[in-house]
Amino acid sequence: MRCDVWWAHPAAGTPGLLELLDEVELGRYAGYRREIDKFRFLTGRALIRGVAAAELGIPAKDVAIDSSCFDCGKPHGKPKIAGLEVSISHSGDWVALALTDAAPVGVDVEEVRDAEVDDLARISFSPTELAAFGTVPQGDRRGAFFTYWSRKEAIVKATGKGMSVPMSTLTLTAHDEPPRVVVSSSPEVVVDAVHMADLDIGDGYRASVAVFGDTAPKVTERDATDLITALG
Protein backbone atom coordinates (compact mmCIF):
# COMPACT_ATOMS: atom_id res chain seq x y z
CA MET A 1 0.00 0.00 0.00
CA ARG A 2 1.21 3.49 -0.75
CA CYS A 3 0.32 6.89 0.65
CA ASP A 4 1.48 10.06 -1.07
CA VAL A 5 1.50 13.36 0.83
CA TRP A 6 1.74 16.49 -1.30
CA TRP A 7 2.79 19.86 0.11
CA ALA A 8 1.99 23.32 -1.28
CA HIS A 9 1.95 26.92 -0.10
CA PRO A 10 -1.36 28.81 -0.35
CA ALA A 11 -1.60 30.27 -3.86
CA ALA A 12 -3.36 33.42 -4.98
CA GLY A 13 -6.65 33.28 -6.88
CA THR A 14 -5.41 33.20 -10.46
CA PRO A 15 -7.90 32.68 -13.31
CA GLY A 16 -6.47 29.23 -14.00
CA LEU A 17 -6.98 28.02 -10.44
CA LEU A 18 -10.40 29.61 -10.05
CA GLU A 19 -11.59 27.88 -13.22
CA LEU A 20 -11.03 24.54 -11.49
CA LEU A 21 -13.71 25.26 -8.86
CA ASP A 22 -17.29 24.13 -9.38
CA GLU A 23 -20.26 26.33 -8.55
CA VAL A 24 -20.55 25.20 -4.93
CA GLU A 25 -16.82 25.63 -4.36
CA LEU A 26 -16.90 29.13 -5.85
CA GLY A 27 -19.58 29.98 -3.29
CA ARG A 28 -17.44 28.65 -0.47
CA TYR A 29 -14.43 30.55 -1.80
CA ALA A 30 -16.37 33.80 -1.90
CA GLY A 31 -17.71 33.20 1.60
CA TYR A 32 -14.32 33.34 3.29
CA ARG A 33 -13.64 36.78 4.74
CA ARG A 34 -9.87 36.52 5.07
CA GLU A 35 -7.75 36.38 1.95
CA ILE A 36 -5.48 33.69 3.38
CA ASP A 37 -8.49 31.43 4.00
CA LYS A 38 -9.58 31.89 0.38
CA PHE A 39 -6.11 30.97 -0.84
CA ARG A 40 -5.85 27.90 1.40
CA PHE A 41 -9.23 26.59 0.24
CA LEU A 42 -8.46 27.27 -3.42
CA THR A 43 -5.04 25.64 -3.21
CA GLY A 44 -6.49 22.59 -1.51
CA ARG A 45 -9.07 22.09 -4.24
CA ALA A 46 -6.50 22.66 -6.99
CA LEU A 47 -4.13 20.22 -5.31
CA ILE A 48 -6.80 17.53 -5.10
CA ARG A 49 -7.79 17.94 -8.74
CA GLY A 50 -4.23 18.18 -10.06
CA VAL A 51 -2.99 15.06 -8.28
CA ALA A 52 -6.17 13.06 -8.90
CA ALA A 53 -6.12 14.00 -12.61
CA ALA A 54 -2.67 12.48 -12.98
CA GLU A 55 -3.79 9.34 -11.12
CA LEU A 56 -7.00 8.90 -13.11
CA GLY A 57 -5.74 10.06 -16.51
CA ILE A 58 -8.34 12.79 -16.96
CA PRO A 59 -8.22 16.62 -17.12
CA ALA A 60 -8.06 18.33 -13.73
CA LYS A 61 -11.29 20.22 -14.46
CA ASP A 62 -13.12 16.89 -14.87
CA VAL A 63 -12.22 15.57 -11.40
CA ALA A 64 -15.48 15.52 -9.44
CA ILE A 65 -15.15 16.17 -5.70
CA ASP A 66 -18.00 15.22 -3.37
CA SER A 67 -17.66 17.03 -0.03
CA SER A 68 -21.07 16.10 1.36
CA CYS A 69 -21.05 15.83 5.14
CA PHE A 70 -21.92 12.31 6.32
CA ASP A 71 -24.27 13.80 8.91
CA CYS A 72 -26.03 16.83 7.39
CA GLY A 73 -25.22 16.55 3.67
CA LYS A 74 -23.82 20.08 3.43
CA PRO A 75 -20.61 20.53 1.37
CA HIS A 76 -18.15 20.75 4.24
CA GLY A 77 -17.30 17.07 4.71
CA LYS A 78 -14.23 15.02 3.84
CA PRO A 79 -13.57 15.23 0.08
CA LYS A 80 -14.44 12.07 -1.84
CA ILE A 81 -13.28 11.09 -5.34
CA ALA A 82 -14.34 7.94 -7.17
CA GLY A 83 -11.48 5.46 -7.23
CA LEU A 84 -9.25 7.29 -4.75
CA GLU A 85 -9.07 8.18 -1.07
CA VAL A 86 -7.97 11.70 -0.18
CA SER A 87 -7.64 14.01 2.81
CA ILE A 88 -6.77 17.70 2.92
CA SER A 89 -5.40 19.96 5.65
CA HIS A 90 -3.99 23.46 5.92
CA SER A 91 -2.43 25.63 8.59
CA GLY A 92 -0.16 28.64 8.47
CA ASP A 93 1.87 28.60 5.27
CA TRP A 94 1.15 25.00 4.30
CA VAL A 95 -1.53 22.99 2.53
CA ALA A 96 -1.28 19.18 2.64
CA LEU A 97 -2.98 16.51 0.54
CA ALA A 98 -2.78 12.80 1.40
CA LEU A 99 -3.84 10.25 -1.21
CA THR A 100 -4.14 6.47 -1.35
CA ASP A 101 -5.70 4.29 -4.02
CA ALA A 102 -7.82 2.25 -1.64
CA ALA A 103 -7.47 2.78 2.11
CA PRO A 104 -9.18 5.48 4.19
CA VAL A 105 -6.68 8.24 4.93
CA GLY A 106 -6.47 11.35 7.06
CA VAL A 107 -3.82 14.06 7.16
CA ASP A 108 -3.38 17.02 9.47
CA VAL A 109 -0.88 19.86 9.67
CA GLU A 110 -0.82 22.31 12.58
CA GLU A 111 1.15 25.48 13.03
CA VAL A 112 2.52 25.58 16.58
CA ARG A 113 0.75 28.72 17.73
CA ASP A 114 -0.44 30.50 20.85
CA ALA A 115 -3.28 28.51 22.37
CA GLU A 116 -4.60 27.49 25.77
CA VAL A 117 -3.14 24.04 25.36
CA ASP A 118 -3.88 22.87 28.91
CA ASP A 119 -7.59 23.66 28.50
CA LEU A 120 -7.68 22.01 25.06
CA ALA A 121 -5.88 18.95 26.38
CA ARG A 122 -8.50 18.48 29.10
CA ILE A 123 -11.27 18.10 26.52
CA SER A 124 -9.38 16.17 23.85
CA PHE A 125 -6.96 13.86 25.72
CA SER A 126 -7.70 10.60 27.48
CA PRO A 127 -6.81 10.29 31.19
CA THR A 128 -3.65 8.36 30.30
CA GLU A 129 -2.59 11.06 27.84
CA LEU A 130 -3.32 13.82 30.34
CA ALA A 131 -1.05 12.11 32.87
CA ALA A 132 1.76 11.87 30.31
CA PHE A 133 1.20 15.44 29.12
CA GLY A 134 1.41 16.67 32.69
CA THR A 135 5.05 15.53 32.88
CA VAL A 136 6.12 17.56 29.83
CA PRO A 137 8.28 20.58 30.77
CA GLN A 138 6.44 23.87 30.43
CA GLY A 139 8.64 25.09 27.59
CA ASP A 140 7.86 22.00 25.52
CA ARG A 141 4.13 21.75 26.19
CA ARG A 142 2.87 23.72 23.20
CA GLY A 143 4.86 21.65 20.72
CA ALA A 144 3.88 18.43 22.49
CA PHE A 145 0.21 19.40 22.42
CA PHE A 146 0.19 20.03 18.68
CA THR A 147 1.96 16.72 18.09
CA TYR A 148 -0.86 14.92 19.90
CA TRP A 149 -3.48 17.05 18.16
CA SER A 150 -2.17 16.53 14.62
CA ARG A 151 -2.02 12.78 15.19
CA LYS A 152 -5.55 12.61 16.58
CA GLU A 153 -6.93 14.91 13.91
CA ALA A 154 -5.44 12.69 11.19
CA ILE A 155 -7.16 9.66 12.71
CA VAL A 156 -10.61 11.21 13.04
CA LYS A 157 -10.34 12.57 9.49
CA ALA A 158 -9.62 9.07 8.22
CA THR A 159 -12.92 7.88 9.72
CA GLY A 160 -14.78 10.27 7.43
CA LYS A 161 -16.66 11.63 10.45
CA GLY A 162 -14.13 14.18 11.64
CA MET A 163 -14.63 15.80 15.01
CA SER A 164 -17.87 13.93 15.64
CA VAL A 165 -15.50 11.16 16.80
CA PRO A 166 -14.38 12.43 20.24
CA MET A 167 -10.62 12.68 20.45
CA SER A 168 -10.78 11.74 24.12
CA THR A 169 -11.91 8.22 23.14
CA LEU A 170 -8.44 7.58 21.72
CA THR A 171 -5.23 7.00 23.66
CA LEU A 172 -2.04 7.43 21.65
CA THR A 173 1.61 6.92 22.43
CA ALA A 174 3.42 9.86 24.01
CA HIS A 175 4.33 12.83 21.84
CA ASP A 176 8.03 11.89 21.80
CA GLU A 177 7.38 8.28 20.76
CA PRO A 178 6.48 6.90 17.30
CA PRO A 179 2.74 7.48 16.70
CA ARG A 180 0.42 4.58 17.44
CA VAL A 181 -3.09 4.06 18.80
CA VAL A 182 -2.84 2.24 22.12
CA VAL A 183 -6.51 2.15 23.13
CA SER A 184 -9.72 3.11 21.34
CA SER A 185 -13.24 3.16 22.75
CA SER A 186 -14.56 4.53 19.47
CA PRO A 187 -16.21 1.98 17.12
CA GLU A 188 -14.87 3.93 14.13
CA VAL A 189 -11.24 3.38 15.15
CA VAL A 190 -9.92 -0.19 15.35
CA VAL A 191 -6.52 -0.16 17.03
CA ASP A 192 -4.79 -2.77 14.88
CA ALA A 193 -6.07 -1.21 11.63
CA VAL A 194 -4.56 2.24 12.17
CA HIS A 195 -1.15 2.95 10.67
CA MET A 196 0.42 6.34 11.35
CA ALA A 197 3.44 8.42 10.44
CA ASP A 198 4.64 11.83 11.54
CA LEU A 199 5.52 14.23 8.73
CA ASP A 200 8.38 16.73 8.79
CA ILE A 201 7.52 20.07 7.20
CA GLY A 202 9.93 22.15 9.27
CA ASP A 203 10.21 24.11 12.48
CA GLY A 204 7.03 25.55 13.88
CA TYR A 205 4.73 22.85 12.51
CA ARG A 206 3.48 19.41 13.48
CA ALA A 207 1.92 17.07 10.94
CA SER A 208 0.74 13.48 10.78
CA VAL A 209 -0.98 11.02 8.45
CA ALA A 210 -3.17 8.05 9.38
CA VAL A 211 -4.20 5.19 7.09
CA PHE A 212 -6.70 2.45 7.90
CA GLY A 213 -5.87 -0.98 6.54
CA ASP A 214 -4.30 -4.39 7.04
CA THR A 215 -0.72 -3.30 6.35
CA ALA A 216 1.32 -0.17 6.94
CA PRO A 217 1.68 1.97 3.81
CA LYS A 218 4.84 3.42 2.34
CA VAL A 219 4.48 7.17 2.93
CA THR A 220 6.14 9.45 0.36
CA GLU A 221 6.17 13.23 0.75
CA ARG A 222 6.14 15.33 -2.44
CA ASP A 223 6.51 19.00 -3.35
CA ALA A 224 3.47 20.32 -5.24
CA THR A 225 4.91 23.74 -6.10
CA ASP A 226 5.39 22.99 -9.80
CA LEU A 227 1.99 21.33 -10.03
CA ILE A 228 0.14 24.35 -8.62
CA THR A 229 2.12 26.67 -10.89
CA ALA A 230 1.19 24.59 -13.93
CA LEU A 231 -2.50 24.56 -13.00
CA GLY A 232 -2.58 28.31 -12.43
Mean pLDDT of 30-39: 96
The pLDDT assigned to 141 comes to 96
The pLDDT assigned to 1 comes to 86
pLDDT digits (tens, 9 = 90+) for 81-124: 999 999 999 999 999 999 998 899 999 999 999 999 999 999 99
If asked whether residues 6 and 96 sit together in one domain, one would say yes
Q: What is the CATH number of the domain that holds 129?
A: 3.90.470.20
If asked whether residues 7 and 79 sit together in one domain, one would say yes
If asked whether residues 195 and 170 sit together in one domain, one would say yes
pLDDT digits (tens, 9 = 90+) for 187-227: 999 999 999 999 999 999 999 999 999 999 999 999 999 99
Alpha carbon distance 216, 165 (integer Å): 23
The pLDDT assigned to 72 comes to 85
Structural domain containing residue 136: 109-214
The pLDDT assigned to 62 comes to 96
If asked whether residues 17 and 67 sit together in one domain, one would say yes
If asked whether residues 7 and 99 sit together in one domain, one would say yes
If asked whether residues 43 and 77 sit together in one domain, one would say yes
Phi and psi based region of residue 58 (left: phi greater than 0; alpha: psi -120 to 50; beta: remaining): beta
